[in-house]
């Protein structure tokens, strides 16, 4: 949402500065001004949508599927007596 607001404020600032810096021109009922205003508004909307979209992967391709196999062996905690007391060790168990 911050990016959309930032893009909109940037476009509004530029449009405001252009509107105050340019001398008034005659354009049959303001049709040109309406076109310019709607073009700036449309650009702000499209620019905000592009700014909030997910990043594209290189060359337009998404990453391929990844297949993960479970490991054949695993580590299990085992309790044992070492002559002085109970201790825990990790033992590798393969199915």
31-51 vs 2-21: helix axis angle to the nearest 10? 150
Which residues in 81-91 are b (16+ Cβ under 10 Å) and which e? eeeeeeeeeee
Burial group, residue 75, by CB count within 10 angstroms (0-12, 13-18, 19+)? exposed
Judged by DSSP in three states, 1 sits in coil
DSSP 81: E
Q: What is residue 78's predicted lDDT score, i.e. its pLDDT?
A: 94
Question: In this predicted model, what pLDDT tens digit does every residue of 14-71 receive, in sequence order?
Answer: 877 766 656 665 656 667 777 888 889 999 999 888 888 776 666 666 677 888 887 7
Locate tokens 């060790």: which residue? 89
């Amino acid at each position: 949402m911050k990016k959309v607001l930032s893009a909109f404020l940037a476009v509004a600032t530029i449009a405001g500065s252009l509107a105050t810096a340019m001398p008034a021109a005659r354009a049959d009922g303001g049709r040109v001004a309406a076109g310019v205003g709607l073009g700036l508004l449309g650009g702000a909307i499209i620019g905000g949508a592009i700014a909030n979209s997910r990043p594209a992967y290189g060359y337009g391709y998404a990453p391929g599927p990844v297949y993960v196999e479970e490991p054949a062996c695993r580590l299990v905690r085992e309790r044992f007596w070492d002559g002085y007391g109970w201790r825990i060790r990790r033992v590798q168990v393969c199915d």
